[in-house]
Amino acid sequence: MEENIVSPSNANEINQAAVGEWKNNENNISYNDNYDQNVVETLNNTTLSDNSVFENANIKTQENNCDSSFNENNTWVNQTEQKSHFGNTNNPGYRKGQGRFNKSNNGNNSYEKSWSNNSTSNNNGRGRGRGRGIIKRFDEENESFKSEYDSGFNNQGDNSVPSHRGRGRGRGHNRGRGGRRDQSSGGWHGNSEDGHKKHENDKPTIPKAAYIPPDIENEESISGIEAGLNFDKYKTIEVKVSGTNPPQSITSFNSSGLSTILLDNLSNCNFSTPTPVQNYAIPIIIDGRDLMASAQTGSGKTAAYVLPILHNLLKQPLQLVFDEHHCEPHVVIIAPTRELVAQISECVWKFSKGTDIKNGLLYGGTSVSYQKSKILQRGVHILTSTPGRLNDFVEKGIVTFSSVKFFVLDEADRMLDMGFKPEIERVLTHSTMTPSESRQTIMFSATFASEIQHMATTYLKPDYIFVAVGEIGGACKDVVQTVIEVTKFKKKNTLLDEIKKMENCQGTIVFVERKKVADYTAAYLSELDYPTTSIHGAREQPEREQALRDFKTNKMKILVATAVAARGLDIKGVNYVVNFDLPKTIDEYVHRIGRTGRLGNAGKAISFFDPEFDGLLAPELIRILKQADQEVPSFLNDASERILLASPATDDFNDIRTNVEVTSNLVATEEEEEW
Ligand SMILES: Nc1ncnc2c1ncn2[C@@H]1O[C@H](COP(=O)(O)OP(=O)(O)OP(=O)(O)O)[C@@H](O)[C@H]1O
């Protein structure tokens, strides 16, 4: 099928779904969230699949399914299931909902005032219906397809996000404002009449647009965060190294032995002093050892593996292996989200500048044919990818692994948890993959639960080195953490209060659990004149990237995000992280609040704790607060006591191996070295 190419310039024109249930009683706008907490766990246990199917599929949307019976054989579902490697459909996640509408975003990628109860804005869309059925939906947080138990309908005219329909009939709960926002009139257009007719008559087929992301413009556009006042405090963090004969750590880039061209690039990027994780990881990787490393968020883990890998490639140049049909990268880096893959690839780009090293990237939501032609045009030494897209290319024989010398898992614990593990296993057990003895396997994360470490050892050589900078899974101490007790119905007002208290809300990320709450919250804040955008898995890729760009360039002050933005994203000037909804796991909390307070800069995290829903997190939250020398509010202690009565706290952990040598603070000081 021909791809419908969308370039960044017209990316904004794609509409996106925003779902939620609104009540607008004149001046009192409220949101009715029928969120069933229990379904989240189910959703987390769903299958992995490949996002690129999107691009190969003709997606049929059903518009405004008012009072209609829904097509059970959703085209999208069928397209998905035809792909046998998308595997397990036995484990559907179910999400309950009631009638709801989709609301498209406008062309500015923001949520401008748009839904005021204004009779002149033709704001009279009606949606009724209560359909239920198991449907397949792509979940970009997990880059996977999920089956969902969904009711409700799409009250939107030309939504390019596939609609999801099960059987349905009867009355729904939407009122008014569904539909597409027409830029020409600036209002919401309820389009139930039109939509209904189209649904009955022609069921339009909307080809999936294939997006070509913009190339990196220059170093300036991807420049990293500048070191903050607390950068020097990194020196005081305890570092534990375990494993036999670890190489001596370095104390400066100049004495690291890194190639001159890398040193030049480092200096161009204003990297003057290595961070602790760089002090340790660089010599270990240069020395050819496998490595599992944990260090706090924002402490330079990416450069800690990119630099020594580049160094080794430069020291022993490897011929590019490719032809018009396939290529064999020497380095494969896998990360969980698309934006993170792009960011890592930018890091490779800036440090390999001036060398012959070829760098490619693959991620979902973008044109398959474009990415294919990019990597086959000239071959790649280093390929950075999300797992789903990589496996798609592997299945098609476009990428094989016979030449792999380095295999890197960034956010390794996430890559090895239930969600991504099958995808990673598929790569590592691929018939062409070089055996672990013939490659270096490298894993990094700020969090590394011991069960994940156990799993990870399967892929590492037995003599791998383990480096722990500070407490594994600990929060960055430069983030001041505040926890506020608030019930779910008061969160919206509390958020507003907190934003008003900020001197300047520029650089605020608000994390929510659900995509529709992300859209609702972004719309709500925009309505109150706080320029806000959102990033989540139901947004089209161009919109996601535009949202990030708008936030990075301060066009938007606030970014409302789901888990897609929790890990790895390195954005300058993030001053606040607000956990509007707390995540389900403490590791996720650590990653989220780590979007601020990076590289020695100060940051602030505010979390809304709803005792009804967040109680289970209380003991771990207290542990993290204490570890980071933060105040523990009494309500949290109370909540924790209730939980601990049921289950005792877990111990701290380190390297899971008990039979290896452990060295603490192995780093030589500058003085020692000079001496
Ligand atoms: N030695 C250094 N000197 C100056 N800047 C650095 C140095 N190391 C890393 N940085 C910058 O610090 C920022 C954080 O780095 P990076 O994103 O690699 O952190 P991380 O540890 O991977 O964080 P996370 O756990 O959130 O993924 C980036 O902007 C990077 O360019």
- The pLDDT tens digits for 7-60 are 444 333 333 333 333 333 333 434 444 333 332 332 333 222 333 322 223 222
Q: Which two tokens stand for residue 515?
A: 């995509």
Rounded Cα–Cα distance for residues 110 and 13 (Å)? 12
In tens, the pLDDT along 156-180 reads 333 333 333 333 333 333 333 333 3
% of the chain residues with pLDDT over 70: 64
pLDDT at 634: 97
Structural contact between residues 313 and 351, judged by C-beta atoms closer than 8 angstroms: no
Same domain, 223 and 269: yes
- pTM given for the model: 0.74
pLDDT of residue 205: 57
CA-proximal residue: ligand 1, atom 14 (nearest): 298
192 domain residue, yes or no: no
Q: Is residue 235, in this structure, part of any structural domain at all?
A: yes
Residue 281 and residue 413 in one domain:
yes
Q: What is the pLDDT of residues 273-287, one digit of tens each?
A: 999 999 999 999 999
- Closest ligand 1 atom to Cα of 303: 18
Q: What is the pLDDT of residue 318?
A: 93
Structure tokens at 530: 């706080």
What pLDDT digit, counting tens, does each position of 294-323 carry? Answer: 999 999 999 999 999 999 999 999 999 999
Tell me which amino acid residue 341 is. Answer: V
In a domain, 663, yes or no: no
**Domain assignment of residue 55, yes or no:** no
Query: Is the domain of 229 the same as that of 323?
Result: yes
Structure confidence at residue 45 (pLDDT): 31
Considering the domain architecture, whether residues 619 and 561 belong to the same structural domain is answered as yes
CATH number of the domain encompassing residue 495? 3.40.50.300
Whether 584 and 630 map to the same domain: the answer is yes
| Co-location of 334 and 449 in the same domain | yes
* Overall number of domains in the chain: 2
Ligand 1: centre distance to CA 457 (Å): 26
What is the whole-number distance in angstroms between the Cα of residue 594 and the centre of ligand 1? 11
- Boundary-marking domain end, from 441, 469, 497: 469
Beta strands 508-511; 576-579: pairing state:
parallel
Q: Is residue 445 part of a domain?
A: yes
Q: Which amino acid is at 237?
A: I
- Is 149 within a domain? no
Q: Angle 618-627/586-593 helices, nearest 10 degrees?
A: 40
- Give backbone dihedrals phi and psi of 131, rounded to 5 degrees, phi first: -95, 145
Please name the residue whose Cα sits nearest to atom 29 of ligand 1: 224
- Residue 602: domain span: 479-646
- β-pairing, 440-445 vs 465-469, is unpaired
CA distances from 364 to 226, 338, 367, 540 (A): 30, 7, 8, 10
Instruction: State the pLDDT at residue 643.
Output: 80
Strand partners, 133: 150
Q: State the alpha helices, DSSP H only, in 97-136.
A: none
* 307 lies in the same domain as 455: yes
535 Cα: distance to centroid of ligand 1 (angstroms)? 22
- Please give the span between the terminal C-alpha atoms of the chain, in angstroms, as a whole number: 67
275 CA → ligand 1 middle, Å:
9
Report CA(292)–ligand 1 centroid distance (Å): 17
Task: Give the closest residue (by CA) to ligand 1 atom 4.
Answer: 271
pLDDT at residue 660 in the model = 72
Q: What is the mean pLDDT of the chain?
A: 75
Asked whether residue 614 falls in the same domain as residue 500, the answer is yes
